[in-house]
Amino acid sequence: MSATFDCVVVGAGPAGSAAALVLARAGKRVALVERGPFPGSKNMYGGVVYGRVLDTLVPGWEQEVPVQRWITRRATMVLTETQSLTVDFRSGAWARPPYNGCTTLRPDFDAWLAGKAEAAGAVLLCSTTVTGLRRDDTGRVTGVCTDRPGGELGAPVVIACDGVNSFLAKEAGLYQSFDPANFTLGAKEVIALPRDEIDRRFGLAGDEGADIEIVGATADVAGGGFVYTNADSVAIGVVLQLPGLARSGRRPEDLIAQLKAHPSIAPLVAGGDLKEYSAHLIPEGGYDAMPEIVTDGLMVAGDAAGLCLAAGIWLEGVNFAIGSGAAAGETAVEALRRGDASAKGLAGYRRRLESSFVLRDHRKLRRAPHFVLSERVQHRYPAVVCDLVEQLFTVENPAPKRGGLKAGWRALRAHDVPLRDVARDAWTALRTFG
Amino acid sequence: MTALSRAGAAVPDIAFEDRMATVEFRVAPDAHIVVDGDSCRGCTTRACVTACPANLFVPTSDGGILFNYEECFECGTCYMVCNTEGAITWRYPEGGHGVVFHRS
């Protein structure tokens, strides 16, 4: 016997819970299906939730979100083996409402948002793995099959928020191609340290937090590193582009150990006990790597739709999951009202995303993932920039100062970067981020 | 200076077993990943062996691959880096089982 709902949402991460919340509030019968024993139990991320997307969805969210620390310090760091250059920004405004970003543990955050959906009337079904789509003779999606006995869930609309591996989007044929180069592996250590020790090491007080993003931290694998503060733990990890990782023969935990051993990083994490090791894939291909997101009876949101923004200085995912999930929920409500959940009836989903930050940001930054993971940005410019700065600040009396242009020229030559490549990359950077 | 050391491996600050012991796994009775030994025998790249963050793929003396599913992060790296169609069959474990993150 199968249960019937107005909508089945697969995955109680931020996308799924936002979708279920919108549907439940509109009075729709919605099932929110989670394969883990609780929401967030399968999830891991690179550290910061930018919560303003919740302003309309959960007014007053900042009063109740299970925050670890509010990010008031955002640093971008460029590393070589022995050098580091950091752009270190702090803002007092980020320590007050409406805030900017916060660190939070995903089991806490995801369970909180799923709780909102439940309180609005959604039926949360944990420990339930969706094993496939249910379809009618015409191929239209009419629900899902689960691994519970007799566990078919019927619904005219299914929203797949089943994460980066989205078996549902693949089963529905929405991924035209699946290029491993569009995915990175994130591997992370959460290291316990006393709260006041974290405050001292990162120069923080009260609920203030730091987020440090790092280029040049991953040896010959394209990717990056990160360090951020929770209340009484520090998270440190690496993000590794899959084909480069496969070619390198390096192990993920070895690259984390190498980052932790860097003289600029070691003092931040020294002496703490490892509390949890974790790993997860990240869809970093951006706008051009997205699957189709609508078919008859089905919408795809969050990581399942490839909606992580990995654009160098901007690294965001949870906000895009919430934004896309809520838009899918609104579209489902509208489609149910009109009684048309065909691809045409659900076409408003794409339009909603195109007019919101979700696809406006992704479209604007569509060139960024490729540029940021390119060989020169990853492996040459970190060394060029560090060498340039080292020359500028090394006083070699009795020799006079060299001057910035000459130092830059020498640094470029030392790392085999022709000027025409710099010019080309500067133009690309302008077109990408301008 | 080159970008952060390309060759030298850093000294691990924690044994791999101790690292994995920080993670909760509610092991399912059935394996959710199946590795086709015949496909693996002809493989020269063996990307799964080094890329899997849980180090679950072990080469055997007869040229095959031994796979343990019990301590899997369910990340999907193995099938994505594998260049042999059908060598790794991957699905999610039974509901409520597998990795359970608490602090990530």
Angle at B71 between CA B39 and CA A269, to 5 degrees: 120
Question: Which residue did the predictor score with more confidence, B4 or A105?
Answer: A105
Closest by CA position to A182, among listed A45, A252, A286: A286
Least Cα distance to A429 among A357, A358, A372 occurs for A372
Q: Which of B1, B13, B102 sits opposite A80 (nearest CB)?
A: B1
Give me the percent of chain A exceeding a pLDDT of 90: 96
Q: Half-sphere exposure (CA, 13 Å, Cβ side) for A414? A: 18
Nearest to B77 by CA among A186, A372, A369, A171: A186
Domain A180-283 has what CATH class? Answer: alpha beta
Strands (DSSP E) found in A269-375: 273-283, 294-295, 298-300, 309-311, 314-316
pLDDT of residue A6: 98
For residue A275, give how far its alpha carbon lies from the nearest alpha carbon of chain B (Å): 6
**Structure tokens of A410?**
């020498």
Going through A365-410 in order, the beta strands assigned E by DSSP cover none
Mean pLDDT of the B33-49 span: 89
| Structure token digits, residue A316 | 């965001």
Domain assignments of chain A as residue spans, ordered by start: 3-66+104-176+291-365, 180-283, 374-433
| Residue A347 predicted with pLDDT over 80 | yes
- Is residue B7 very low, low, confident or very high in pLDDT (cuts 50, 70, 90)? very low
Nearest by CB to residue B51, choosing from A128, A245, A386, is: A245
CA distance B23 to B32: 18
pLDDT-derived band at A1 (thresholds 50, 70, 90) equals very low
pLDDT reading at A22 higher than 70? yes
Give me the sign of the Cα torsion angle A271, A197, A252, A108.
positive
What 3-state class would DSSP assign to A261? helix
- Please compute the mean of the pLDDT values over residues A267-287 and round it to a whole number: 97
Chain A partners of B45 at a C-beta cutoff of 8 Å? 246
Chain B residue at shortest CA distance from A45:
B104
What average pLDDT does this structure show over A22-38?
A: 98
Q: Do A281 and B102 touch (CB under 8 A)?
A: no
Calpha distance A192→A184 (Å, rounded): 26
Q: What's the one-letter identity of residue A324?
A: S
pLDDT tens digit sequence for A89-140: 999 999 999 999 999 999 999 999 999 999 999 999 999 999 999 999 999 9
Q: How far lies B101's CA from each of A57, A108, A117, B98, in Å? A: 26, 11, 22, 10
Residue B28 is part of a domain; what is its CATH number?
Answer: 3.30.70.20
pLDDT per residue as tens digits for the range A235-274: 999 999 999 999 999 999 999 999 999 999 999 999 999 9
Which residues of chain B make contact with A238, given a CB cutoff of 8 A? none
pLDDT the model gives residue B2 = 40
Grouping H, G, I as helix, E, B as strand and the rest as coil, residue A386 is helix
pLDDT category at A402 given cuts 50, 70, 90 is confident
Taking only residues 37 to 96 of chain B, the set having a beta carbon closer than 8 angstroms to any beta carbon of chain A reads 45, 47, 50-51, 53-55, 73-77, 80-81, 90-96
ipTM rounded to 2 decimals: 0.95
In angstroms, the CA A430 to CA A365 distance is 11
- pLDDT for A377-387, tens place per residue? 999 999 999 99
Domain presence at residue B8: no
**CA closest to B3 among chain A residues:** A80
Q: Is B99 on the interface with A (CB under 8 A)?
A: yes
CA of A348 vs chain B CAs: smallest distance (Å): 31
Point out the residue among A81, A246, A277 whose CB comes nearest to the CB of B51. Answer: A246
- The predicted model gives B86-96 an average pLDDT of 94
User: How many of the other CB atoms lie within 10 Å of CB of A357?
Assistant: 16
Name the CATH code of domain A3-66+104-176+291-365 (choices 3.50.50.60, 3.40.50.300, 3.40.50.2300, 3.40.50.1380). Answer: 3.50.50.60
Which parts of chain B fold into alpha helices (H)?
A: 16-20, 37-41, 47-51, 77-81
Residues in chain B: 104
CB contact under 8 A, A278 and B92: no
Which candidate from B4, B80, B93 shows the least CB-CB separation from A216?
B4
Query: Amino acid identity of A391?
Result: Q
The reply to whether residue B4 touches residue A35, judged by beta carbons under 8 angstroms, is: no
pLDDT at residue B1 is higher than 70: no
- Please tell me what DSSP assigns to residue A399: S
- Per-residue pLDDT tens for A302-340? 999 999 999 988 999 999 999 999 999 999 999 999 999
**Given the structure tokens 């654009």, which residue do they identify?**
A311
Residue A72 CB neighbours (<10 A) = 25
User: Minimal CA–CA distance to B53: which of A276, A275, A43, A252?
Assistant: A252
**Cα(A118)–Cα(A110) distance, rounded to whole angstroms?**
12
Residue A231 burial class via C-beta count within 10 angstroms: exposed 0-12, middle 13-18, buried 19 and up:
middle
Q: Which tokens in the block code for residue A38?
A: 């609780």
Contacts of A388 in chain B (CB under 8 A): none
B9, B73, B98 member nearest A254 (Cβ): B9
Beta strand pairing call for A152-154 and A3-4: parallel
CB A114 within 8 A of CB A41: no
Structure tokens at A123: 């039926």
Structural domain of B71: 24-95
Cross-chain Cβ contact B103/A167 below 8 Å: no
Query: Confidence band (pLDDT; 50, 70, 90) for B10?
Result: low
Q: Is residue B53 part of a domain?
A: yes
Q: Where are the alpha helices (DSSP H) in A240-347?
A: 242-248, 252-261, 266-269, 318-338
Q: What is the DSSP letter of A93?
A: G
Contacts of B98 in chain A (CB under 8 A): 36, 42
- Count of domains observed in chain B: 1
Task: Report the mean per-residue pLDDT for chain A.
Answer: 96
Express each pLDDT in A173-218 by its tens digit.
999 888 999 999 999 999 999 999 999 999 999 999 999 999 999 9
On whether any CB of chain B is under 8 Å from the CB of A386, the answer is yes
Please judge whether B80 and A180 are an interchain contact, meaning their C-beta atoms are less than 8 angstroms apart: yes
> Nearest CA to CA, how far is B85 from chain A (Å)?
13
